[in-house]
Amino acid sequence: MTIETRSIEGIATPVSRIGLGTWAIGGWMWGGADDRNSIATLHGALERGINLIDTAPVYGFGHSEEVVGQALEDRRDQAVIATKLGLDWTDRGPRRNSTPQRIRQEIEDSLRRLRTDRIDLYQVHWPDPLVPIEETAAELEKLRREGKILAIGVSNYSPEQMDAFRREAPLASVQPPYNLFERAIEKDVLPYARRHGLAVLGYGALCRGLLSGRMKPDTTFGGDDLRTSDPKFRAPRFAQYLAAVEALGALARERHGKSVLALAIRWVLEQGPTIALWGARRPDQLNGIDEAFGWTLDEQDLKDIDALLAEHVKEPVGPEFMAPPARN
């Protein structure tokens, strides 16, 4: 398998165009964690050539970073680590906080948990409406000049917010939700990234497993699973999305001999300066990565995919339910 790569400004190592997302590895909102499986998954990703590892302190309230640090301690130079800042948490859950003081605390905590002396890509997880964007950017630029981080990114930012950020610091990437079912960034964020040379790390590339092809009408979720609060997984929308997945799978098989999962990832990679984040916490959940490379979707494929989505998904919804609150 030949892994597709791209560059991110400030990072010398080319990064794989599929990155391993580690939210589920933290356990919180995904039904618990199994560290042995998680470490095997991280090692398996590296062995397949997937060198971009995306994590965050809030994933398991530090646990995901700790597991990533343990797994990569003796393989640090094989990996490009992307983590985040700008959320803290109480017993009521996470909230936005991008003050300079919080940033200074977070960088030291993340470096310790990740068992490393630098973070390759440091991203603001969500914009904080109580802190001027320029103030957050200026603090991150100080960290970059100190050598604690190599490149700066943002997540869930609008073009206007990125403009403000770029007045104080160089911006290398943006991380929005992006998949076949959640495409709002095509109106603004994606064209902005193309104009300004930003890498786009699309999170939720498989739409929380919906595009894996493994879900059935009787699939259910319980406990703290994120999908219990996602309107896509409730009637009547769930049936609409499953019908779209079935139709997309038929197109993928008939035209390319591929799975719907491979189609979903390939589609993200066709959209420009994009990297697809692939969430996994068991080694078997890496199966299918190979299928995403070495082929393309043509113009007719893309038109027909859009038509299938319009035919089956009558009540589309975005990922807005995931946004954490601001501080009081």
Instruction: Record the pTM.
Output: 0.94
The candidate with the shortest Cα–Cα distance to 275, out of 100, 106, 65, 52, is 52
Query: Could you tell me whether strands 93-96 and 52-54 are parallel, antiparallel, or unpaired per DSSP bridges?
Result: unpaired
Torsion angles phi and psi, residue 28, rounded to 5: -65, 130
Is residue 1 pLDDT above 70, yes or no? no
pLDDT at 69: 97
Q: Vertex 71, ends 70 and 74: CA angle to 5°?
A: 90
| Structural domain that includes position 75 | 12-209+267-297
Catalytic residues: 59
pLDDT at 321: 80
Q: Are 82 and 123 in contact (CB under 8 A)?
A: yes
Q: What is the pLDDT of residues 108-154, one digit of tens each?
A: 999 999 999 999 999 999 999 999 999 999 999 999 999 999 999 99
pLDDT at 30: 54
Q: What is the pLDDT of residues 266-315, one digit of tens each?
A: 999 999 999 999 988 899 999 989 999 999 999 999 999 999 999 999 98
SS3 171: coil
The set of residues, in sequence order, having a beta carbon less than 8 Å from that of 288 and lying 6+ positions away, is 259, 261, 262
Dihedral sign of CA atoms 227, 229, 232, 235 in order? positive
Residue 309 located in a structural domain: no
pLDDT at 124: 98
What CATH number is associated with residue 61?
3.20.20.100
Which pLDDT band, with edges at 50, 70 and 90, does 93 fall under?
Answer: confident
Q: What percent of the chain has pLDDT over 70?
A: 98
The mean pLDDT of the chain is 94
Please, is 307 exposed, middle or buried when counting C-beta atoms within 10 Å of its C-beta (0-12, 13-18, 19+)?
exposed
Residue 257 located in a structural domain: no
Residue 236 located in a structural domain: no
pLDDT at 226: 80
pLDDT at 32: 65
pLDDT at 259: 96
d(CA 233, CA 83): 28
Residue 102 located in a structural domain: yes
pLDDT at 51: 98
> CA separation (Å) from 71 to 34, 115, 199, 236?
13, 10, 26, 41
What is the number of structural domains in the chain?
1
pLDDT at 89: 82
SS3 299: helix
Compute the average pLDDT of residues 175-186.
Answer: 97
**Which two tokens mark 107?**
């960088």
Which pLDDT band, with edges at 50, 70 and 90, does 172 fall under?
Answer: very high
Q: What is the pLDDT of residues 24-60, one digit of tens each?
A: 898 665 566 789 999 999 999 999 999 999 999 998 8
The candidate with the shortest Cα–Cα distance to 261, out of 270, 248, 280, 243, is 248
Q: Are 127 and 327 in contact (CB under 8 A)?
A: no
**DSSP strand E in the chain: where?**
5-8, 11-16, 18-21, 52-54, 80-85, 87-90, 93-96, 119-124, 149-155, 173-175, 199-202, 274-279
Residue 233 located in a structural domain: no
Is residue 3 pLDDT above 80, yes or no? yes
Residue 319 located in a structural domain: no
Residue 289 located in a structural domain: yes
d(CA 57, CA 3): 28
The candidate with the shortest Cα–Cα distance to 216, out of 232, 236, 238, is 238
